[in-house]
Amino acid sequence: MTTDLSILKLIMDASVVVKIVMTLLLLASLLSWTLIMVKSGTISSTQSSVTKFEERFWSGVSLNSLYEELSQKTNRYGLERIFYDGFHEYKRALNTDPTSRLSVTDSVQRSMRVAASKEVDDLERNLAFLATVGSTSPYVGLFGTVWGIMNSFISLGQMQQATLGVVAPGIAEALIATAIGLFAAIPAVIAYNRFSDKIDRLVVSYDNFREEFTALLERHASTQRKPV
């Protein structure tokens, strides 16, 4: 008599606990892949926006013109948001106290620092979920495997005569839980590391722009009393 050892058959014949483990892992994998697709698009869009804005900013365009152009946009993100918030604060502070260059510089730095922090927080949102899936899924799958193998040996002990054909299905279905755990964990870990690296690079771009833009505004503030 031939025993059906197909993956689907083994999953359907698994114990309730192992089925629950498999379902949770599959759900975690589905959510991970959804988040990976969304986050990949968001980060790629931000990187593209940063590149385009840097080219526009250093092309010699008037700061006032660039500010007015961005003021017409409802959604500003990346360097657009940092520049807009910083220049907005620059205009306000310089009109309030045009003689205090240090005060203007400090307020602009604070404004851009807050904007950059919000941008990074948006990019990092839900990344902890990928880290959690990547670190816990193998252990959840291992729990399902241990539980399934334990049940197999309990059933084995109740038999007068045991053969490999009797034990194999129970052990195989238990090992599927570990396989699903790895299937959920590996993409999550790879995506988390990849996204973290890209976000770190964006943070460096933000920091460099803030320093360069602040130096530029300091030169303007020292040569004139009104916004550029």
Q: Could you report the per-residue pLDDT of 86-142, keeping only the tens digit for each?
A: 988 888 877 776 555 556 778 888 899 999 999 999 999 989 999 999 999 999 988
pTM equals: 0.80
Q: Where are the domains of the chain?
A: 7-223
Q: How far apart are CA 167 and CA 170, in angstroms?
A: 6
Q: How does residue 5 score in pLDDT terms, banded at 50, 70 and 90?
A: low
Q: Which residues have a Cβ under 8 Å from the Cβ of 79 and sit 6 or more positions away?
A: 49, 50, 53, 54, 57, 205, 206, 209
On average, the pLDDT of the chain sits at: 82
Alpha-carbon dihedral sign for residues 218, 223, 224, 225: positive
Q: At residue 13, does pLDDT exceed 50?
A: yes
* 77: region left, alpha or beta (phi > 0 left; psi from -120 to 50 alpha): beta
Of 37, 29, 30, which Cα lies nearest the Cα of 182? 29
Q: Which tens digits make up the pLDDT trace of 25-68? A: 999 999 999 999 999 999 999 999 999 999 888 888 888 888 88
Q: What is the mean pLDDT of residues 68-94?
A: 86
**Cα–Cα dist 5/105, whole Å:** 71
Confidence of residue 227 (pLDDT cuts 50, 70, 90): very low
**The predicted structure's pLDDT at residue 161:** 61
Banded pLDDT at 74 (limits 50, 70, 90): confident
Q: For residue 1, what pLDDT is reported?
A: 43
